[in-house]
Amino acid sequence: MNGQLEKSIVLITSASDNSMKGNVIGTGFAFYQEENYTYLLTCAHVVEDVGGEEYVLVNNISAEVVAIGDTQGFDLAVLRVKELLSVLPLGLIILPEELEISLKISIPGYFLWGENKVRRRKTIKGIMMVEAGEEKAFQIIKNVGEEVAIGKLKIEAGKLQKGYSGAPVVDLETGFVVGITTHMEGKNEEEGKEGTAISIEALKKIWPEMPPDVFHFYLEKFDVITVNIKGEEINRHSHKAAFFTEDLGNGVMLEMVAIPGGTFMMGSPENEAGRRDRESPQHEVTLQPFYMSKYPITQNQYKIIMGKNPSDFKGENRPVECVSWYDATEFCQKLSQKTGKNYRLPSESQWEYACRAGTTTPFYFGETITSELANYNGNDIYGKAPKGKYREETTDVGNFPPNAFGLYDMHGNVWEWCADYRHKNYEGAPTDGSAWLENDGKEHYLVLRGGSWLIIPDGCRSAYRNYNAGRDILNYNFGFRVVCDGGRIT
């Protein structure tokens, strides 16, 4: 089971001696934390099955039912438990109406196994049908003049069993919850291979008083381009990513992309053109989910937080430049104070993992890069791609195609400061996604990533490391972007 999911789901049982508690369980999951309380979702019929609201136990702790819906329409209940802070909340996303795809999903849940009714948990995988040809699988159930969507589940690995009611339906691509399992279907051998899930939107129907920042994520669709060694487009795929926005004031917004956790090989293989020793040895790094700014920090974002714009190439939506590592760090501190969240510079491994977005090629576009895909010094080439434009200045963010995580301008435009100190190679580097904060004999030198408008394409590769910059240096091709772990400042 995925570590994040394992820390998010809870077991629902009963405190009643008369409710057959040995045979009745359900699943719930955390979705919000406030002060000393953790809020959880499960099904309304789970609450009824364990004996009613006064008998609900969450991980053997008495729970308060904050809101509950009608089991025939809004089969959903909100529970609240004090001092359950070890359970991590999952993000919720309402699917846009125009999204007509089959979502690959996972469902972590509890079930009773064997004659002795042993409680076990397992994550099963399948598909949630939003549209299936001419047949709408994302149905509408009407209840007292309201509507709530119901998705059809097709289980491919494992099966739904008694106890999975209330389990989260997690979109594998974004890691966000898109539905709540309500019941299983089928008979005999096929029982549990199909089921239904209620839309997360039902939460709004049963709990109008919910905090406004519960639903601060949204989905965005975009195309991801792949090119061959000549820079010719050979593939174009539609992807989606989850975002949230920070209102910085005066109409200035900061968009943050949800980066799913995972494992990747950091560094470059020995046969990669332009490879440097500083990019070796390749090593496996495993990262927890985090959030990264969709674009490099722009001049209008920097100005509203810092009160000034030091950039040489002026433009509100151009990346800020002429900022030192100290300036970028101060920006993160002030942004954290303003929002209440923990903002900081990315670690090197976070940056490279986010840049690659699952790719192993020199660029997230593929084997090469062209000036139609990024802003760099197009007078030079990489691979068999043709020469291109050399713009000799920054460009507005978002003008070039994104990677599969929904991040823009990871190659070129401005170098981006990281949190790590300089090291001549990866011998002894962290493997957990954290920043490498021991120095390598030059304690005032930090790492930058991504290349810039000034740099030849070789320096824009996903693995390339610029590690000869002092933290107080100001340069018109040095900028940064920020990351956030989603937690609040303590």
Shared domain for 184 and 267, answered yes or no, is: no
Residues 445 and 359 in one domain: yes
Of the candidates 465, 468, 470, 469, the one whose C-alpha atom is nearest the C-alpha of residue 277 is 465
Q: Are residues 182 and 231 in the same domain?
A: no
The answer to whether residues 396 and 415 belong to one domain is yes
Q: How far is the CA of 356 from the CAs of 178, 407, 482, in angstroms?
A: 26, 10, 17
Final residue in a domain of this structure, among 160, 181, 208? 208
Query: What tens-digit pLDDT sequence spans the chain (490 residues)?
Result: 455 677 899 999 998 765 444 578 999 999 998 888 999 999 999 999 999 999 999 999 999 999 998 766 689 999 999 977 778 889 898 876 655 567 899 999 999 887 777 889 999 999 998 654 444 555 555 554 566 778 889 999 999 999 999 999 999 888 899 999 998 887 767 788 999 998 888 898 899 888 887 887 888 889 999 999 999 999 999 888 999 999 999 999 999 999 988 999 999 999 999 999 999 999 999 998 899 999 999 999 999 999 999 999 999 999 999 999 999 999 999 999 999 999 999 999 999 999 999 999 999 999 999 999 999 999 999 999 999 999 999 999 999 999 999 999 999 999 999 999 999 999 999 999 999 997 666 667 999 999 999 999 999 999 999 998 999 999 999 999 999 986 554 3
CA dihedral 401, 405, 411, 415 (to 10 degrees): 130
Distances (CA, A) of 232 to 48, 237, 371, 375, 410: 59, 15, 12, 17, 20
Q: How far is CA 431 from the centre of its chain?
A: 20
Q: Domain end: 148, 181, 208, which one?
A: 208
Domain that holds residue 91: 1-208
Q: Report the CATH number that the domain containing residue 185 is assigned in CATH.
A: 2.40.10.120
User: Alpha helix (H) ranges present in 343-440?
Assistant: 348-356
Q: Across the chain, how many H-helices and E-strands are there?
A: 6, 26
Cα gap 409→387, rounded to integer Å? 19
Domain stops at, among 164, 186, 208: 208
